[in-house]
Structure 1
Amino acid sequence: MEIEQNVTAPAATESSVLASFPDYADAQRLVDRMSDDGFPVESVRIVGEGVRTVEQVTGRMTRGRAAAAGAASGAWFGVFIGLLFGLFTAGAAWVWMLLISLVIGAFWGAVFGFVAHWSTRGRRDFSSVMTLQARRYEVHVDRAQAAQAAKYVL
């Protein structure tokens, strides 16, 4: 049995570039000003042009730091599990359940963090944060609203 679905994509609205900025904060400020003034911002888009990834190196990753980071994330997971199990306990047992789960989570997190870093054999001995950046940010507005929006860039 064959089922036919008729799915149509929403029609793309023609837009024009209202302004171009070197950073996102400036584009966001323009749209915020338009919103504060009551402009129908549903017709506005911020488009990043020339998108690239940027990896900011934050430090050297050692086995000790990997174990510490693993312990911290394991401790949070342990607290979560302890809270879930704590729902079924009463009195002082609740606090003990939370503490024991925290310690067990931190221990296993440290073990897994250490082993994960050790297994790379030094191929990635640094920590980093990856972000997306654009060369410039354009504020686009639907053509029907373009004349009304032009007053915001003067």
Structure 2
Amino acid sequence: MTQPGPPQPDPHPQPTPRGVRGGQPVTPPVDRPVVGSYPTYEGAQRAVDFLSDSKFPVERTAIIGSDLKMVETVLGRLTRGRAALAGAGSAAWFGLLIGLLMSLFVDGIGNVLLLMLSALLYGALFGALFGFAGHAFTGGRRDFASRSQIVASRYDVVAEPDVAEDAKNMLIKLGWREG
């Protein structure tokens, strides 16, 4: 008869399921109590930073934006010339990177500089051509440059239920104010 030995580790361990920390279920962020509400993301971020500085377990908090909207800010008119210039600028950096990588295989500082300069110029040239052509092929359907961002009308700092009251009290007691 053989004696049972020490328990062997499971050869096929199961990953920890989502929503579980240390064997305990974790409340999804949207169902957590609100400990503070702020009109800007920066305000909510500063509140969490304040909690962190106060040694609060911020890994048990989240920032939730509500009433989301997409805002597209028009930066200006986009002409074929501006499209070519933008293409030249971004491709010049790529050309410089390629030149830098190729310079590892070239002897002499003069050859390295010549290689990097020509890679930069070729990148800018081809980028300008592609930028110009890309804008020309749109047929004038989008003759403006813009930047898009998602913004919320309110940002709530939430915490897991068992620490939410502590977080709220900490923000109040230690005199944290947004601003």
Do the structures match in fold with TM over 0.5? yes
> What residue in structure 2 maps to residue 16 of structure 1?
33
User: Is the CA contact (8 Å cut-off) linking 1:82 and 1:98 kept in structure 2?
Assistant: yes
The amino acid of 1:143's aligned partner reads P
CA deviations on 1:107-130 (whole Å, 9 max, x unpaired) are 000000000001111110000011
* TM-score calculated relative to the size of structure 1: 0.91
Q: Which runs of 4+ in 1 moved over 4 A?
A: none
The amino acid of 1:21's aligned partner reads Y
- How many pairs does the alignment contain? 149
CA deviations on 1:90-111 (whole Å, 9 max, x unpaired) are 2111110000100100000000
Equivalent of 1:43 in 60, 67, 77: 60
> What residue in structure 2 maps to residue 86 of structure 1?
103
Q: Secondary structure at the match of 1:87?
A: helix
Q: Aligned-pair distance for 1:9? A: 2.9
User: 2: CA distance between counterparts of 1:152 and 1:55?
Assistant: 38
User: 1: CA distance between counterparts of 2:91 and 2:164?
Assistant: 52
Q: Aligned-pair distance for 1:51? A: 1.5
Q: Secondary structure at the match of 2:105?
A: coil
Q: Secondary structure at the match of 2:107?
A: coil
The amino acid of 1:132's aligned partner reads I
For structure 1, which runs of at least 5 residues remain unmatched after alignment?
1-5
Equivalent of 1:68 in 85, 88, 103: 85
Q: Aligned-pair distance for 1:20? A: 1.1
State whether structure 2 residue 45 is matched by structure 1 residue 53: no
1:26-37 equivalent positions in 2, closer than 5 A: 26-37=43-54
Q: Aligned-pair distance for 1:138? A: 0.4
> What residue in structure 2 maps to residue 130 of structure 1?
148
User: Is the CA contact (8 Å cut-off) linking 2:36 and 2:168 kept in structure 1?
Assistant: no
User: 2: CA distance between counterparts of 1:62 and 1:15?
Assistant: 49
State whether structure 2 residue 119 is matched by structure 1 residue 119: no
Q: Flag the structure with larger Rg.
A: 2
User: Is the CA contact (8 Å cut-off) linking 1:30 and 1:152 kept in structure 2?
Assistant: no
The range that moved more, 8-17 or 88-97, is 8-17
State whether structure 2 residue 147 is matched by structure 1 residue 109: no
User: Is the CA contact (8 Å cut-off) linking 1:48 and 1:138 kept in structure 2?
Assistant: yes
Q: Secondary structure at the match of 1:50?
A: strand
CA deviations on 1:50-76 (whole Å, 9 max, x unpaired) are 122111100110000000000001100
User: 2: CA distance between counterparts of 1:48 and 1:144?
Assistant: 22
Q: Aligned-pair distance for 1:12? A: 3.8
For structure 2, which runs of at least 5 residues remain unmatched after alignment?
1-13, 20-24, 173-179
Identity over the aligned pairs, expressed in percent?
45
Q: Secondary structure at the match of 1:53?
A: strand
